């Protein structure tokens, strides 16, 4: 497999995952805002922190009202992580490797990009937002499904999966970091009903709510949520699971030792963590370390294969 193609496949996986994740994030935040009382000012700024940064945002918008933030997340100028940009990059990547991926997948990606480009205005309005976002999420899921069902699970497929899981790992850490730091003022003792709601939204952003409930029957508590999102190896969006997926893929590739080593470093870090004590700054620093570890994995991947 050509190095350039491997690189493109990896990024194709990333961009598709990114579009899906951003769509989920918007959906969940829209719902959360409807549930919170007016006294809790939560707004959309944290979402900017998750997918990008405020400097980039405020360079183009005066205020972080719903309309501006959504515009930024959907098509925003200078926001390479917007849904439409992600879909566009995914399509460009797919175009340069059209001959590698199944034709049906190319057609789906192309169609999804056209859909996103032509219909993103729908998401600006609460009424039609859900439909648009669901369409994006479901289309990406469909693409993932067709890939799994029709593409030879060869090296190329492994690169796609690596890209998807690294992006997922990255998103999971960002959501935990931002949500817990800026969105959830920690009251040591009692948990308000709304805090509960907010942790629920963290789970929902990662489609983890239902699975969490099946696993942990007690009421929603920060340490349990963290433990689930970081360490539940059977849940496909937990950090540990995504890293193990990457490791499984890498082991199907030639010369995997260096990448595998970096993965083990992060894994050990996760295993050693105690969710009970990960509060505020400590959690923030921990997530920082994990993110550095993940970027080390990516660097080694680039050095070895691209």
Partner 1 sequence: MPINWNKYDTGPFHDELVKRPGEPRTYATDLCDFIQDLSDAELQEYKAAADSAIKVMGITFRVYNDEEGSIDRAWPFDIVPRLIELKEWQQIEKGLKQRVKALNMFIDDLYNEQKIIQDGIFPKDLLTHSKNFLPQCKGFSPPLGIWAHICGSDLVRDQNGTVYVLEDNLRVPSGVSYMLENRQVMKRVFPEMFRQYDILPVDNYPSDLYDMLAALSPRDIPEPEIVVLTPGTYNSAYFEHAYLAQQMGAELVVGDDLVVDEDNCVYMRTINGLSQVDVIYRRIDDAFIDPEVFNTESTLGVPGLMRAWKAGKVALANAPGSGVADDKVVYSYVPQIIEYYLDEEPLLSNVPTYRCVNPDEKAYVLANIEKMVVKPANESGGYGMLIGPHATPKEHDEFRKLIEDDPRNYVAQPMLLLSTAPTMVGNEVEGRHLDLRPFILSSKDVCVTMGGLTRVALVKGSTVVNSSQGGGSKDTWIVDMEGS
Q: Which stretch binds partner 1 (CB under 8 A): 81-89, 99-107, 265-273, 275-283?
A: 99-107
By CB under 8 A, tell whether 4 contacts partner 1: yes
Question: Contact with partner 1 (CB under 8 A): which of 54, 60, 67, 98?
Answer: 98
Our CB check for partner 1 shows the closer of 4 and 54 to be 4
Indicate the SS3 state at residue 256: coil
Q: Which stretch binds partner 1 (CB under 8 A): 11-19, 107-115, 129-137, 163-171?
A: 107-115
Indicate the SS3 state at residue 153: coil
Indicate the SS3 state at residue 273: coil
By CB under 8 A, tell whether 37 contacts partner 1: no
Question: Contact with partner 1 (CB under 8 A): which of 60, 67, 95, 268?
Answer: 95
Binding mask 134-173 for partner 1 (x = CB under 8 A): ---------------------x------------------
Residue 229 near residue 207, CB atoms below 8 Å: no
Residues 6 or more apart whose CB falls under 8 angstroms from that of 145 comprise none
Residues 6 or more apart whose CB falls under 8 angstroms from that of 136 comprise 19, 20, 23, 83, 87, 112, 115, 116
By CB under 8 A, tell whether 216 contacts partner 1: no
Residue 273 near residue 229, CB atoms below 8 Å: no
- Count other Cβ atoms within 10 Å, centred on residue 4: 11
Under the rule (CB under 8 A), what is the footprint of partner 1? 1-6, 92, 95-100, 103, 106-107, 110-111, 114, 155, 253-254, 304-305
């Amino acid at each position: 497999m050509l190095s350039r193609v491997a690189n493109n496949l990896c990024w194709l996986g990333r961009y598709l995952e990114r579009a899906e994740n951003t769509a989920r994030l918007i959906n969940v935040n829209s719902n959360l805002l409807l549930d919170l009382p007016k006294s809790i000012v939560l707004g959309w700024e944290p979402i900017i922190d998750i997918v990008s940064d405020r400097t980039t945002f405020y360079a183009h918008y005066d205020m972080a009202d719903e309309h501006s933030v959504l515009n930024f997340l959907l098509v925003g100028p200078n926001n390479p992580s917007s849904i439409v940009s992600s879909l566009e990059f995914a399509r460009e990547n797919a175009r340069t490797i059209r001959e590698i991926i199944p034709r049906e997948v190319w057609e789906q990606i192309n169609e999804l990009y056209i859909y996103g480009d032509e219909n993103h205005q729908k998401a600006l309005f609460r009424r039609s937002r859900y439909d648009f976002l669901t369409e994006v999420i479901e289309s990406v899921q469909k693409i993932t499904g067709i890939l799994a069902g029709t593409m030879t699970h060869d090296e190329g497929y492994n690169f796609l999966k690596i890209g998807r899981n690294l992006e997922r790992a990255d998103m999971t850490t960002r959501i935990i970091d931002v949500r817990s730091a800026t969105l959830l003022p920690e009251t040591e003792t009692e948990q308000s009903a709304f805090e509960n709601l907010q942790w629920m939204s963290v789970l929902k952003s990662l489609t983890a709510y239902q699975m969490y409930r099946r696993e942990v029957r007690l009421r929603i508590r920060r340490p349990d949520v963290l433990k689930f999102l970081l360490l539940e190896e059977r849940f496909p969006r937990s950090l540990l699971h995504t890293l193990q997926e990457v490791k499984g893929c890498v082991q199907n590739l030639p010369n995997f030792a260096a990448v595998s080593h970096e993965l083990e470093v992060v894994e050990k870090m996760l295993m050693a963590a105690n969710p009970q004590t990960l509060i505020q700054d400590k959690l923030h620093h921990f997530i920082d370390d994990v993110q550095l570890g993940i970027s080390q994995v990516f660097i080694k991947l680039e050095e070895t294969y691209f």
